[in-house]
Amino acid sequence: MKLLICGGAGFIGVNFIEYMLGAHPGYNYLCYDKLTYAANPARIRELCERHTNLRFVKGDICDREGVYSLFEKESFDAVINFAAESHVDRSIEVPDIFITTNVTGTGILLDACLRYGGVRFHQISTDEVFGDLPFESEYAFTEKDRLNPSSPYSASKASADLLALSYHRTYGLPVTVSRSSNNYGPYQHSEKLIPLMIKKALKGENLPVYGDGRNLRDWLYVGDHCKAVDLILHKGRAGEIYNVATEKEQSNLETVKAVLSLLGRDESLISFIKDRPGHDLRYAVDCSKIKNELGWSAVTDFSNGLALTVQWYSNRFNKEDI
Ligand SMILES: NC(=O)c1ccc[n+]([C@@H]2O[C@H](COP(=O)([O-])OP(=O)(O)OC[C@H]3O[C@@H](n4cnc5c(N)ncnc54)[C@H](O)[C@@H]3O)[C@@H](O)[C@H]2O)c1
């Protein structure tokens, strides 16, 4: 199998490539990435040096000619699209690039898949497309629930999902979509909650927490997400959406306290700051479908995953500024 992995130099993409190289060593991989501020070019270089079946091409999914010429040269069996602008706070400041990359870019990849023989397409999406739930609710969104995104980021991801699913319905393109909860693990940019808190705690700086820190999140270890995408790619049904999460929730404050505890730092470092506009209260998705159909469930316990993550950033912090 020859796979095109768009956005493969980003946090989840780089972990996915490493996972796939181990799980399917006989496949060929091409990582296509624009290398924005969020990318890990050094890690991709290392992986390319170690694995002759992995190649890297720097490019933009919004560059239609560039994408088409890549598809013309290579004969891909499947495309997995991780490429995106992914930070909610940035989307509130500058929504435009989110619409361009996340919507137009996904549309161009879908067009290429259609034009070059109906290539299998998997879209990496987020549980944020459902919007949030009240704190007191016990409901968890299923794949059938309506989309109700809150931020320009989640609205752009919801748009991309709809576009991808429409290419299945209209043109019969073999498309799947996965909607995962918040990921954590190695190689995530330090603008995101867990790496940011680790970095601040290691430096002995204040840890900024939005509002009162009560917002509930479901934290998925990135390795568990990679396994889910592998299963969906091979066994998922075309035209279907799969939720991917741990189905366990905790407040942002609990997460920040867990980081401080692992690093032996005092909770007095926590500093509550003005809440994010439109801040989602509670995310929860029901994962019965992927459990029942594909036999997937998250196996990494949060305390183990966080310990691995804190260890990884601490080692890196000693070598270079994170
Ligand atoms: N991180 C999470 O917690 C999370 C949770 C659910 C879903 N997702 C989704 O998973 C995907 C990957 O997320 P991530 O956290 O790894 O993001 P990331 O920001 O770490 O990485 C995104 C990657 O896409 C690349 N990219 C951006 N614009 C591009 C373009 N125009 N052309 C080609 N490459 C481009 C960047 O260079 C980067 O390498 C995203 O689609 C995101 O919406 C992320």
> Could you list the pLDDT tens digit for every one of the 322 residues in the chain?
999 999 999 999 999 999 999 999 999 999 999 999 999 999 999 999 999 999 999 999 999 999 999 999 999 999 999 999 999 999 999 999 999 999 999 999 999 999 999 999 999 999 999 999 999 999 999 999 999 999 999 999 999 999 999 999 999 999 999 999 999 999 999 999 999 999 999 999 999 999 999 999 999 999 999 999 999 999 999 999 999 999 999 999 999 999 999 999 999 999 999 998 988 899 999 999 999 999 999 999 999 999 999 999 999 876 665 5
Instruction: Tell me, yes or no, whether 262 lies in a domain.
Output: no
Q: Is 321 exposed, middle or buried (0-12, 13-18, 19+ CB in 10 A)?
A: exposed
Known catalytic residue: 93? no
Known catalytic residue: 127? yes
- Judge contact between 311 and 200, C-beta under 8 A: no
- Is residue 40 in contact with ligand 1, taking CB distance under 6 Å? no
Give, using CA atoms, the residue closest to atom 32 of ligand 1: 60
CATH code of the domain containing 18: 3.40.50.720
Instruction: Tell me, yes or no, whether 24 lies in a domain.
Output: yes
At 265, give phi and psi (nearest 5°): -105, 160
Q: Please report the pLDDT score of residue 321 as a whole number.
A: 57
Q: Please report the pLDDT score of residue 317 as a whole number.
A: 77
Q: Which one from 60, 128, 132, 230 is the annotated catalytic residue?
A: 128
- Amino acid symbol at 87: H
Instruction: Tell me, yes or no, whether 279 lies in a domain.
Output: no
Q: Please report the pLDDT score of residue 278 as a whole number.
A: 87
Distance of alpha carbon 163 from alpha carbon 146, whole angstroms = 15
Residue among 188, 190, 209, 210 nearest 199 (CA): 190
Instruction: Tell me, yes or no, whether 214 lies in a domain.
Output: no
Q: Which atom of ligand 1 is nearest to the CA of 87?
A: 19
Structure tokens at 116: 């070059």
- Judge contact between 183 and 7, C-beta under 8 A: no
Residue among 55, 38, 67, 45 nearest 2 (CA): 55
Residue environment code for 160-188, b if the CB has 16+ CB neighbours within 10 A, otherwise e: bbebbbebbeeeebbbbbbbbbbbbbbbb
- Judge contact between 201 and 267, C-beta under 8 A: no
Q: Please report the pLDDT score of residue 305 as a whole number.
A: 98
Instruction: Tell me, yes or no, whether 317 lies in a domain.
Output: no
Distances (CA, A) of 10 to 35, 226, 227, 234, 286: 8, 13, 17, 22, 26
Tally of domains within the chain? 1
- pLDDT tens for residues 206-242? 999 999 999 999 999 999 999 999 999 999 999 999 9
Instruction: Tell me, yes or no, whether 288 lies in a domain.
Output: yes
Instruction: Tell me, yes or no, whether 179 lies in a domain.
Output: yes
Which DSSP letter does residue 167 get? H
- Is residue 186 in contact with ligand 1, taking CB distance under 6 Å? no
Task: For residue 171, report the distance from its CA to the centre of ligand 1, in Å.
Answer: 26
Distance of alpha carbon 20 from alpha carbon 317, whole angstroms = 27
- Is residue 101 in contact with ligand 1, taking CB distance under 6 Å? yes
Print the domain residue range for 243: 2-189+219-248+284-299
- Amino acid symbol at 169: R
Task: For residue 266, report the distance from its CA to the centre of ligand 1, in Å.
Answer: 33
- Judge contact between 269 and 168, C-beta under 8 A: no
Instruction: Tell me, yes or no, whether 178 lies in a domain.
Output: yes
Task: For residue 307, report the distance from its CA to the centre of ligand 1, in Å.
Answer: 24
Contacts of 290 (CB under 8 A, 6+ apart): 228, 231, 232, 242, 243, 244, 296, 297
Distance of alpha carbon 76 from alpha carbon 29, whole angstroms = 9
Task: For residue 77, report the distance from its CA to the centre of ligand 1, in Å.
Answer: 22
